[in-house]
Amino acid sequence: MHLHRLRLPLLTLGAALALAAPSPAAAPRDVLFIAVDDLNDWTGHLKGHPQARTPNIDRLVARGVTFTNAHCAAPACNPSRAALMSGLRPWQTGIYTNGDPAAPVLKDVTTINRYFLANGYNTLGGGKIYHGFPSEGRNDSWTQWVGLFPTGGKNVHNLNGLDRDHFDWGPLTISSAEMGDSKLTDWAIDQLHTAPADQPLFLAVGYVKPHLPWYVPQEYFDRFPLDEIQLPKVKPDDLSDIPAAGVAMAKPEGDHAAVVAAGQWKNAVQAYLATISFLDDQVGRLLDAVEASPRGREMIVFWWTDHGWHLGEKEHWRKFALWEDATHTSFGITVPGVSKIGGRCEASVDYTSIYPTLCEAAGLPVPSHVTGPSLMPLLKDPDATWEHPAVCTHGRGNHAAIDGRYRYIRYSDGSEELYDHQSDPNEWTNLAGEVGVSEIKQRLSSVMPAADTEVPSTSGEKKAKEKGSNKTPQTGSGQGKGKNKGKGQGKNAKKTQAN
């Protein structure tokens, strides 16, 4: 069933509280909710790059189940996070890209943090959870929201010589402690020590790195000597069998052409690996604090990266595409007593399953507007049968469906791509036009929305309203009741990156 915004059920706060009230015997469990910006599969546990060094991230996900075939709902910060936090897909909300405002929709949706706040949790948030604080369109969604922490030192620009705004990289002459994500980690550790023990904790920690620019202290660059850097595996004519709609997303004449012409490809890979290594150090500090905390033993931990990232594969950089490198994520869940320690799940999953899984793990009923399948069966048995292909959307009408073997892409103009990951893990050969693949394409296309059910983008909301064709979904007020009600952006907040 395809859901229009107009068909989404109304869930008032009173209804949310009644629905969510746990049984008297159920003790609320603390939640650590870790978000990471722009980290692809370049981790030790996913082996996306042979030189990736992430012992702490690997240690974190090994405490529970790692989902090795996990995908975002949209390959851009704004729509990915909006879908994850609301439980609604881009075609239900109109939040398809970074340019589509989320606030007109999310202000009336019971998001994850608002739902936990309404159910008595002390909801504390810092860093980047949404694509900027205003994304929820209200200021009563958290007990306390502290926003982004600034990085110290002098402002720098164009260290790589490309002069392409924040598409930049290079070492900083500051200490690790002066980095914004290091300060975020300090804050999160402090909350583990000082948050009231008599109230369940929902602690959301949103790491900004490895988002561009890739500026981290020199010590992290030193871990990856430039003359030893290995470039991603690429095929020289990889775009030759890609339809025009896909080539338009790749934009080979843009970032890739500039990087190659300037001889900066290895430098970029070095900088990305260095920035990931910096992130990994922060994750290690946070994990050490969790394991030392009285709350840590029974704490539910969700780890997720908002989408993947290309570094020259298919002559493409950044996210903003529907191929594996743009949609594949690092994702792990620990639910003590439920999840299998050291579990690895190869089932194709996407982030619309996070909301229902988190509710079930915490002992809360799932709100009626959240229809994604829960991952709890896979936490108990990573090899359990799973019949839900992952779906990723980039712009209205453009979708990818991924199962355990194939990726099928269908663009808004009807053009297609199909890849067999069993024989072609790098997605170098488009099989969409081959004989004998009709059943595969039909099966995977069945989980994509029909064109007439996809709501217009919110960036075209005014025009749509003038035609009387669109309204904002009403899925609950979720009025906060915390002491601070998440007012403002927090004393440390800065404007979140736009890309």
- Torsion on CA atoms 416, 422, 427, 432, rounded to nearest 10: -20
Q: What angle do CA 267, 251, 401 make, to 5 degrees?
A: 100
Q: Which residues are catalytic?
A: 77, 131
Q: Which residues of 409-418 are buried (b: 16+ CB within 10 A; e: fewer)?
A: bbbeeeebbb
318-333 as b/e: b if 16+ CB within 10 A = bbbbbbbbbbbbbbbb
For β-strands 214-217 and 169-172, DSSP reports them as parallel
Cα–Cα distance for residue pair 303/32, rounded to 1 Å:
8
Tokens of 175: 């200490």
* Beta pairing class for 399-402 and 406-410: antiparallel
| Strand ranges, E, within 11-55 | 31-36
Backbone dihedral angles phi then psi of residue 203, each to the nearest 5 degrees: -110, 110
Radius of gyration of the chain from its Cα atoms, rounded to whole angstroms? 22
Looking at domain 5-18+28-392+461-466, its CATH superfamily turns out to be: Alkaline Phosphatase, subunit A (3.40.720.10)
d(CA 75, CA 402): 14
Measured CA angle at 477 (ends 305, 86), to 5 deg: 20
Consecutive H or E run containing 85 = helix 77-86
pLDDT by residue for the chain (499 residues), tens only, comes to 333 333 333 343 444 444 444 433 457 999 999 999 999 999 999 999 999 999 999 999 999 999 999 999 999 999 999 999 999 999 999 999 999 999 999 999 999 999 999 999 999 999 999 998 789 999 999 999 999 999 999 899 999 999 999 999 999 999 999 999 999 999 999 999 999 999 999 999 999 999 999 999 999 999 999 999 999 999 999 999 999 999 999 999 999 999 999 999 999 999 999 999 999 999 999 999 999 999 999 999 999 999 999 999 999 999 999 999 999 999 999 999 999 999 999 999 999 999 999 999 999 999 999 999 999 999 999 999 999 999 999 999 999 999 999 999 999 999 999 999 999 999 999 999 999 999 999 999 999 999 999 999 999 844 433 333 333 333 333 333 344 434 334 444 433 333 4
